[in-house]
Amino acid sequence: MRDSTELLGRPRELRDRYQQDGYVLLRGILDPVEVMRIRGAYFSLFPEGYLRPGTAPAAGVYSGQTAPAMPHGVAGHPAHTFVRSAEYARFAEAPRLAELAEVLLDGPVALLPRKVLRHFDRESKQASRAHVDRAYPSGGDMVTAWITLGDCPIDRGGVIYLSDSQRLPAEAGDLERSVTDRPYDPRPISHDLAWTARTVGGRWLWTDFRVGDVALHCPDLIHASLDNTTDIARLSTDLRFQRAEEPVDPRWAVPWAADDGA
Ligand SMILES: O=C(O)CCC(=O)C(=O)O
Q: How confident is the model at residue 217 (pLDDT cuts 50, 70, 90)?
A: very high
Q: Is 225 in the pocket of ligand 1 (CB under 6 A)?
A: yes
What is residue 67's predicted lDDT score, i.e. its pLDDT?
64
| Number of domain units in the chain | 1
Q: How far is the CA of 50 from the centre of ligand 1 (A)?
A: 23
- Domain ranges, residue 229: 5-243
Residue 254 lies in a domain: no
Residue 53 lies in a domain: yes
Residue 202 lies in a domain: yes
What is residue 124's predicted lDDT score, i.e. its pLDDT?
82
Residue 261 lies in a domain: no
- From 161, 214, 225, the mutation candidate for ligand 1 (largest count of ligand atoms within 8 A of CB) is 225
Q: What is the CATH number of the domain that holds 190?
A: 2.60.120.620
Question: What count of other Cβ atoms lies within 10 Å of the Cβ of residue 126?
Answer: 16
**Per-residue pLDDT tens digits for 35-58:** 999 999 999 999 988 999 999 999
Pairwise CA distance, residues 104 & 144, whole Å: 10
Question: What count of other Cβ atoms lies within 10 Å of the Cβ of residue 198?
Answer: 10
Residue 51 burial (10 A CB sphere; 0-12, 13-18, 19+) = buried
Ligand 1, atom 7: closest residue by C-alpha: 224
Q: Is 236 in the pocket of ligand 1 (CB under 6 A)?
A: yes
Question: 170 vs 108, which has greater pLDDT?
Answer: 108
- From 72, 83, 118, 189, the mutation candidate for ligand 1 (largest count of ligand atoms within 8 A of CB) is 118
Pairwise CA distance, residues 222 & 201, whole Å: 11
Ligand 1, atom 10: closest residue by C-alpha: 133
Q: Which residues 6+ apart lie within 8 Å of 185 measured at CB?
A: none
What is residue 185's predicted lDDT score, i.e. its pLDDT?
82
**Per-residue pLDDT tens digits for 108-130:** 999 999 999 999 988 888 899 99
Q: Is 159 in the pocket of ligand 1 (CB under 6 A)?
A: yes
Q: Is 118 in the pocket of ligand 1 (CB under 6 A)?
A: yes
Spatial contact of 215 and 164, defined as CB atoms under 8 Å apart:
no
Residue 146 lies in a domain: yes
Residue 251 lies in a domain: no
Pairwise CA distance, residues 222 & 128, whole Å: 11
Residue 45 lies in a domain: yes
**Per-residue pLDDT tens digits for 181-198:** 888 887 888 999 999 999
Element of type H or E holding 223 = strand 223-225
Quote the pTM value. Answer: 0.95
Q: Is 223 in the pocket of ligand 1 (CB under 6 A)?
A: yes
Residue 224 burial (10 A CB sphere; 0-12, 13-18, 19+) = buried
Ligand 1, atom 8: closest residue by C-alpha: 238
Pairwise CA distance, residues 161 & 1, whole Å: 8
Residue 262 lies in a domain: no
